[in-house]
Amino acid sequence: MSAQIIDGKQVSTEVRERVADEVAEFIAGGGHQPVLATVLVGDDPASHVYVANKLKACKAAGIGSVHHELPAETNQRDLITLVRALGDDDGIDGILVQLPPPDHIDADAVIAAINPAKDVDGLTATNAGLLAGGRPGLVPCTPAGVIELLDHAGTELEGAEAVIVGRSNLVGRPLISLLLGRNATVTAAHSRTRDLPAVCQRADVLVAAVGVPGLLGAEHVKPGATVIDVGINRTDDGLKGDVDFDQVVEVAGAITPVPGGVGPMTIAMLMANTLEAARARSLAKVWG
Ligand code: GUN
């Protein structure tokens, strides 16, 4: 039997509408309009599309935005100076530096310059450490979106076997903590894992986040498992996920498509994080 298709477009629309309502309530209750600052360095066409979509989503949610577009030859010191200034600017609640930056810029050094209270990507050492310690903080958008999709699909996480393939700072590592926080039994698989099909076969929840088109096939999936495909790979045949959808849809209980699965969730969760950062900054002003 064919799996339930988890519709990321629908879930992301629901999250964005919820955030828009909450932004309006926050402002009506005396809060300030949340503001996101985006920083884009260079000419990567995909990055330009992503940032344009983020700015559009801000507008629709009633969130203000300030966009900084810098030439590809911008040096690291100037970029860090800008990121620090945004961190000190009381009119800014969230800072998003679009990744990856051009090759001559060290992304880690730029991330380290982001004020953790405004780190709506959840990438600073402060927020990554809070998440790893099971404490509240700003959570990276894509893994937060994965959890929303699992909840929407009604997938039981308590006690479930969850296997994450991929260990990136943006997705795999934060997901380990998020799923542990929901009391799943978590396995982190990666490029050196021996017998990947056997490890994946254990999963009630299988998440693919490696960036290798079609890596996971039917032989990796336990019948009835929920399969979340975070991969967005540009191939000659168009956008492909890390999961061979046509094979796996016949085995899984539920599956996200690519495109239209995890992708739309990232922006929705960015809106949610920007509101969360604005609320927390507003409370910090009251209580110190
Ligand atoms: N590039 C690809 N995904 C992301 C993301 O989630 N945040 C940022 N800042 N850049 C990205």
What per-residue confidence (pLDDT) applies to 288? Answer: 63
Phi, psi of 3 (to 5 degrees): -70, 155
Model confidence pLDDT, tens digit, residues 223-242: 999 999 999 999 999 999 99
Give yes or no for residue 142 CB within 6 A of ligand 1. yes
Indicate if 90 belongs to the active site: no
Three-state SS across the chain? Answer: CCCEECCHHHHHHHHHHHHHHHHHHHHHCCCCCCEEEEEEECCCHHHHHHHHHHHHHHHHHCCEEEEEEECCCCCHHHHHHHHHHHHHCCCCCEEEECCCCCCCCCHHHHHHCCCHHHCCCCCCHHHHHHHHCCCCCCCCHHHHHHHHHHHHCCCCCCCCEEEEECCCCCCHHHHHHHHHHCCCEEEEECCCCCCHHHHHHCCCEEEECCCCCCCECHHHCCCCCEEEECCCEEECCEEECCECHHHHCCCCCEECCCCCCCHHHHHHHHHHHHHHHHHHHHHHHHHC
What per-residue confidence (pLDDT) applies to 286? Answer: 73
| CATH for 31-115 (3.40.50.2000, 3.40.50.1360, 3.40.50.300, 3.40.50.10860) | 3.40.50.10860
Indicate if 285 belongs to the active site: no
- Ligand 1: residue of 12, 54, 99 to mutate (most ligand atoms within 8 A of CB) is 99
Q: Please report the atom of ligand 1 found closest to the CA of residue 100.
A: 1
Give yes or no for residue 98 CB within 6 A of ligand 1. yes
Model confidence pLDDT, tens digit, residues 212-222: 999 999 999 99
Model confidence pLDDT, tens digit, residues 161-191: 999 999 999 999 999 999 999 999 999 999 9
Residues of the chain with CATH 3.40.50.10860: 31-115
Which residue is catalytic, options 93, 119, 121, 242?
121
* 141-264: in CATH 3.40.50.720: yes
Q: Please report the atom of ligand 1 found closest to the CA of residue 140.
A: 6
Indicate if 98 belongs to the active site: yes
Q: Which residues pair with 64 in a beta bridge?
A: 35
- 259 cis-preceded (ω within 30 degrees of 0): yes
Residues of the chain with CATH 3.40.50.720: 141-264
Instruction: Using the mean position of ligand 1's atoms as its centre, give its distance from the Cα of residue 108 in Å.
Output: 13
Segments in the chain below pLDDT 50: none
- Ligand 1: residue of 266, 271, 273 to mutate (most ligand atoms within 8 A of CB) is 266
